[in-house]
């Protein structure tokens, strides 16, 4: 008999929507000022984790509150364990909101609120998927474990504690509903380093720009000594390349110009979508003061894949390396570039470091980074999840993907990012007016139910 997963989750539709509203109402932004033993990420996160613990208990799950780092809900018995990793913390609700970020309003079948799509909605959808299977006696011969972390947004100390302090076992098969459908079977490694360069020309007083390694610099400032005709040369240079800029006398320093260049921010995993104001400014200064190495340094990074830097890598599934200069600053005569480096599975970080230094333009001390993640796209876990998504959603077009970013999947073994953002939907996570289409919320429930059921049937 073929199971109808849509029918299976249908009875919980109303309940799952009203529970999501309750869950969203809990402001679970990390707040270290209220952190203490048992609530390492503060009171709000604790309340959200408690909410899931209570819900689990009411439904007959085995509950472990994991010293306040995560809420773990387990159902079923057997050696085989299907793990689902979602998170209960949310990013701060900055910006202009149509409705209160923690007062979930439903308008035209869309629920607004911080956490609706990242990641309370998807996490609760997975809960109702498991509940539907459980209530119908379909968790048989395997165990399902839902884990809600309290610190995904600030670095994953929740799962770190869960796996490495509490020594919890890894799942046989796992997924994290904290990304996109269909699924992400590969994630580049993410690393970083500082590239130092000694400035040769004293006319450059300082250079600054950027706030984080993983964002393309959208604004950079240089202080340079005034000289005849300099402002006109700056203006014609930046007009020619078509970026905005300002030039004015420094308010603090005599005979010094302050030059600001404006680019376009983009995520560090896709530097090609941004315009790096810092690199353009460095390029101009190298050019203007005849410092060829400095100009070359900026050229090496303006091409974001590492081809000019001499450290380009690629692989079949994770594709090319990317280098994003996210912060520039001067300390004395030393220019420091903070670089976010993303790489496929065939990269040795020491080798990349040697290659960059072989160019003899400044120096990189060492490159640090985490492991890339890659599953065989033909493996049973990947094909099972993909099939569950395709057959339940009817979308056979959107391919399984690999990304340059990192998801929760990197923090657990045998775990892959699977939904629940649907292809074609505008992505509004971390933005004001974050929302979830209730249609998507409910669809993900039967997709997850089907996926869990099928994973439960896979050989160990
Ligand atoms: Zn998330």
Check residue 428 and give its pLDDT: 87
Check residue 95 and give its pLDDT: 87
Tokens 């969203």 map to which residue? 24
Summarised one tens digit per residue, pLDDT across range 358-379 is 999 999 999 999 999 999 999 9
CA of 153 to the centre of ligand 1 (A): 7
Task: Determine the Cα–Cα distance for residues 440 and 20; give it in Å rounded to an integer.
Answer: 13
Question: What residue ranges in 316-381 does DSSP mark as E strands?
Answer: 319-320, 322-331, 334-343, 363-364, 368-369, 373-374
Which residues belong to the active site?
Answer: 89, 152
Tell me the CATH number for domain 189-369: 3.30.70.360
Task: Determine the Cα–Cα distance for residues 435 and 451; give it in Å rounded to an integer.
Answer: 24
CA of 234 to the centre of ligand 1 (A): 43
Check residue 1 and give its pLDDT: 67
Summarised one tens digit per residue, pLDDT across range 192-215 is 999 999 999 999 999 999 999 999
Decide if domain 5-187+372-457 falls under CATH 1.20.120.80.
Answer: no
Over 90: is that where the pLDDT of 260 sits?
yes
Check residue 155 and give its pLDDT: 83
Characterise 453 by phi-psi region: left (phi > 0), alpha (psi -120 to 50), beta (else): alpha
> Within 13 Å, how many C-alpha atoms sit on residue 11's CB side?
7
Tokens matching residue 406: 């990192």
CA of 346 to the centre of ligand 1 (A): 27
Over 70: is that where the pLDDT of 454 sits?
yes
pLDDT band with cut points at 50, 70 and 90 for residue 94: confident
CA of 158 to the centre of ligand 1 (A): 13
Summarised one tens digit per residue, pLDDT across range 22-40 is 999 999 999 999 999 999 9
Residues less than 5 Å from ion ligand 1, measured at CB: 118-119, 178
Check residue 167 and give its pLDDT: 97
Which DSSP string do the residues of 294-306 spell out, in sequence order?
A: HHHHHHHHHSTTS
Check residue 170 and give its pLDDT: 97
CA of 428 to the centre of ligand 1 (A): 12
Domain extents in the chain: 5-187+372-457, 189-369
- The DSSP code for 350 is H
Task: Determine the Cα–Cα distance for residues 83 and 377; give it in Å rounded to an integer.
Answer: 19
CA of 119 to the centre of ligand 1 (A): 5
Over 70: is that where the pLDDT of 89 sits?
yes
CA of 152 to the centre of ligand 1 (A): 7
If you average pLDDT over residues 308-326, what whole number do you get?
Answer: 97
431: which strand partners?
Answer: none
> Among candidates 360, 315, 362, 319, which has minimal Cα distance to 339?
362
CA of 366 to the centre of ligand 1 (A): 30
Task: Determine the Cα–Cα distance for residues 210 and 278; give it in Å rounded to an integer.
Answer: 8
Q: How far is CA 48 from CA 64, 65, 69, 179, 218, in A?
A: 14, 12, 11, 20, 35
Tokens 């269909």 map to which residue? 182
Summarised one tens digit per residue, pLDDT across range 281-315 is 999 999 999 999 999 999 999 999 999 999 999 99
Give yes or no for a contact between 133 and 451, defined as CB atoms under 8 angstroms apart.
no
Higher pLDDT, 277 or 428: 277
pLDDT band with cut points at 50, 70 and 90 for residue 250: very high
Over 90: is that where the pLDDT of 406 sits?
no
Q: What percent of the chain has pLDDT over 70?
A: 100
pLDDT band with cut points at 50, 70 and 90 for residue 70: very high
């Amino acid at each position: 008999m073929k199971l109808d997963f849509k029918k299976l989750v249908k009875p919980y539709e109303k309940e799952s929507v009203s529970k999501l509203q309750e869950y969203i109402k809990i402001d679970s932004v990390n707040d270290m000022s209220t952190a203490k033993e048992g609530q390492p990420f503060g009171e709000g996160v604790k309340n959200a984790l408690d909410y899931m613990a209570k819900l689990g208990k009411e439904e007959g799950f085995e509950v472990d509150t994991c010293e306040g780092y995560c809420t773990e809900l387990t159902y079923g018995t057997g050696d085989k364990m299907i793990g689902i990793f979602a998170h209960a913390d949310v990013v701060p609700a900055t910006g202009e909101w149509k409705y209160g970020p923690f007062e979930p309003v439903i308008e035209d079948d869309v629920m607004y609120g911080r956490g609706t799509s990242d990641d309370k909605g998807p996490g609760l959808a997975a809960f109702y998927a498991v509940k539907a299977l459980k209530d119908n006696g379909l968790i048989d011969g395997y165990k399902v474990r839902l884990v809600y972390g309290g610190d995904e947004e600030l670095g994953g100390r929740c799962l770190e504690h869960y796996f490495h302090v509490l020594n919890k076992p890894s799942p046989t098969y796992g997924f994290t509903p904290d990304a996109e459908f269909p699924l992400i079977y590969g994630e580049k490694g993410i690393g970083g380093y500082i590239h130092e360069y000694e400035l040769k020309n004293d006319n450059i007083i300082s250079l600054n720009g950027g706030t984080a390694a993983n964002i393309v610099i959208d604004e950079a400032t240089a202080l340079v000594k005034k000289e005849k005709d300099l402002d006109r040369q700056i203006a014609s240079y930046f007009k020619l390349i078509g970026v905005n800029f300002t030039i004015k006398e420094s308010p603090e320093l005599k005979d010094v110009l302050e030059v600001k260049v404006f680019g376009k921010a983009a995520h560090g995993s896709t530097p090609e979508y941004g315009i790096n104001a810092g690199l353009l400014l460095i390029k101009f200064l190298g050019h203007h003061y005849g410092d060829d190495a400095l100009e070359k340094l900026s050229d090496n990074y303006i091409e974001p894949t590492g081809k000019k830097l001499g450290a380009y890598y690629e692989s079949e599934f994770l594709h090319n390396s990317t280098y994003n200069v996210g912060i520039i600053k001067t300390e004395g005569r030393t220019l420091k570039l903070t670089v976010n480096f993303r790489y496929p599975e065939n990269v040795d970080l020491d080798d990349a470091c040697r290659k960059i230094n072989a160019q003899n333009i400044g120096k990189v001390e060492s490159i640090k980074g985490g492991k890339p993640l890659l599953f065989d796209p033909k493996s049973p876990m990947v094909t099972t999840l993909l099939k569950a998504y395709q057959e339940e959603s009817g979308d056979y077009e959107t391919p399984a993907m690999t990304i340059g970013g990192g998801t929760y999947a990197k923090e657990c073994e045998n775990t892959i990012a699977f939904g629940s953002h649907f292809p074609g939907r505008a992505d509004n996570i971390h933005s004001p007016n974050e929302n979830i289409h209730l249609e998507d919320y409910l669809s993900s429930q039967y997709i997850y139910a089907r996926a869990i059921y099928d994973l439960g049937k896979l050989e160990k």
